[in-house]
Amino acid sequence: MRYLIRHTTRYHYPEAVTLCHNRVMLQPAERDDQHCQGFHLQVDPEPNIIRSFQDFFGNSIHYFEIHRAHSKLEITATSEVIRHVDPGYTLPMSPPWEEVQANLTGADALLEIRRQTLFAMPSPLVALHPELQVLADRVLTPHRPLLEAVLDLTLQIHQSFAYAPGSTSVSTPLVQVLTQKAGVCQDFAHVAISVLRSKGLAARYVSGYLETQPPPGQPRLQGADASHAWFEVLLPGVGWIGFDPTNATLARHRHVILAVGRDYADVPPVKGVVTGGRKHRLSVAVDVIPLDEAPLSAPAEGAGGVFLTS
pLDDT by residue (tens digit) across 251-278? 988 899 999 999 999 999 999 888 877 7
Q: What is the mean pLDDT of the chain?
A: 87
Report yes or no on 289 lying in a domain.
Answer: yes
Higher-confidence residue of 107 and 282: namely: 282
Closest residue by Cα to residue 185 from 279, 193, 152: 193
What is the arithmetic mean of pLDDT over 157-185? 90
Task: Please indicate, yes or no, whether residues 146 and 188 belong to a single structural domain of this protein.
Answer: yes
Main-chain dihedrals φ then ψ at residue 58, nearest 5 degrees? 90, 10
Provide the 8-state DSSP code for 29: P
CB 31 within 8 A of CB 265: no
Q: What percent of the chain has pLDDT over 90?
A: 62
Residue 49 inside a domain? The answer is yes
C-beta of residue 258 within 8 angstroms of C-beta of residue 186? no
> Does one domain contain both 238 and 115?
yes
* Same domain, residue pair 11 and 135: no
User: Given pLDDT bands bounded at 50, 70 and 90, which one contains residue 169?
Assistant: confident
Structural domain boundaries enclosing 171: 97-251
Could you tell me if 6 and 110 lie in one domain? Answer: no
Residue 259 domain flag? no
271 with 246, same domain: the answer is: no
Structural domain count of the chain: 2
Question: What end-to-end distance do the CA atoms of the chain give, in Å?
Answer: 18
Determine the pLDDT at residue 292. Answer: 62
Task: Please state the separation of Cα 55 from the chain's center in Å.
Answer: 15
* Residue 258 belongs to a domain: no
Shared-domain flag, residues 103 and 247: yes
Q: Which of 151, 197, 201 is nearest to 174 (CA)?
A: 197
Look at residue 202 and tell me if it is in a domain.
yes
What is the rounded distance in angstroms from the CA atom of residue 181 to the CA atom of residue 80?
A: 36
CATH number of the domain that residue 190 is part of: 3.10.620.30
Residue 173's pLDDT band (cuts 50, 70, 90):
confident
**147 lies in a domain?**
yes
- The alpha carbon of residue 262 and the mean position of all alpha carbons in its chain are separated, in whole angstroms, by 10
CATH assignment at residue 305 = 2.60.40.2250
In this predicted model, which residue has the larger pLDDT, 169 or 294? Answer: 169
Do 146 and 117 lie in one domain? The reply is yes
8 and 134 in a common domain: no
Enumerate residues 6+ apart whose C-beta is below 8 A from 3: 79, 80, 81, 82, 83, 209, 211, 256, 288, 289, 290, 291
Residue 243 pLDDT greater than 90, yes or no: yes
Rounded Cα gap, residues 148 and 261, in angstroms: 24
pLDDT in tens, 22-77: 999 999 999 999 999 999 999 999 999 999 999 999 999 999 999 999 999 999 99
Instruction: Based on the fold, state whether residues 112 and 144 are members of the same structural domain.
Output: yes
* 150 in the same domain as 72: no
pLDDT at residue number 70: 92
What whole-number percentage of the chain has pLDDT above 70?
86
Is 284 found in the same domain as 228?
A: no
In a domain, 256, yes or no: no
Arithmetic mean of pLDDT, 143-157:
96
Whether 153 and 284 map to the same domain: the answer is no
Confidence of residue 305 (pLDDT cuts 50, 70, 90): very low
